[in-house]
Chains A and B, each alone.
Chain A
Amino acid sequence: MAAANEMITADAIEATEFMDLSRKYRVTGVPKTIVNETIEILGGLPEKMFVRQALDLPDPDTP
């Protein structure tokens, strides 16, 4: 995603090495994704579902 858009930066963080950050973001399982300090995604998701959640796009199945 970062490679596709200059507005996006992506960090992959080894959770056990940076325990303070893991505690800060309440990483209880992996992978855990935090977007702009506000959106949290726990676990791996299919690509479209992940991107929709990460970018806070509306769910097409919700009327």
Chain B
Amino acid sequence: MGLLSPQDEATLKQHLSSITFPVQLVLFTQAFGGSETGDVAKQILGEIASLNDKITIVEKSFVLDTEDKAKYKVDKAPAIVILSDGIDTRMKMYGAPTGYEFVGLVEAIIVAGTGKIDLDPETMKWVQAVDKPTHIQVFSTPT
């Protein structure tokens, strides 16, 4: 049985219909000795990808795919790297994307797939003026 209800699926499909660029969700999991939430993440991504054919999942091993880990700067698993037409959006999610994290994931997919960033024009100016490496980590919980 799916994690999303048929009603949720219909709403989500509607939201995702604005996507025009291909979006790749690169999922890093650890098969042995890793967290079982990797399987949950895989199932959630699968359900999202089934709703829009521009969204694809690329599975990677946290242990074996060391080049990709380095390329996307992934340091823990499960991790989801969001690519817009193959280009790293620099948005990543760590842990299973359930609850509030799910909303964040969908928003990130829509940004990656539309190229539209929903920021106030003044805020956007501040963000675009950043000229040194800036790493933002946001901690949240599913509920």
Contacts and interface: CB of A to CB of B under 8 A. Distances in A.
B117 A9 contact: no
Contact of A17 (B35, B90, B124): B35
Given A3-B90, A4-B128, A7-B133, A13 B138 contact: yes
B139 A22 contact: yes
Contact of B76 (A1, A18, A31): A18
Interface string B129-143: 011111111111110
B5 to A, nearest CB: 22
Q: Which of B89, B126, B131 has the most chain A CB atoms closer than 10 A to its own CB?
A: B126
Contacts of B130: 5, 7-8, 55
A36 interface: yes
B141 A16 contact: yes
A12 B138 contact: yes
Contact of B91 (A2, A5, A15, A47): A2
27 contacts: A3-B91, A5-B127, A7-B133, A7-B134, A8-B135, A11-B93, A11-B137, A12-B101, A13-B138, A14-B96, A14-B140, A14-B142, A16-B141, A17-B37, A17-B95, A18-B94, A25-B137, A27-B139, A30-B140, A31-B100, A31-B138, A34-B136, A35-B134, A35-B137, A37-B135, A51-B127, A55-B126
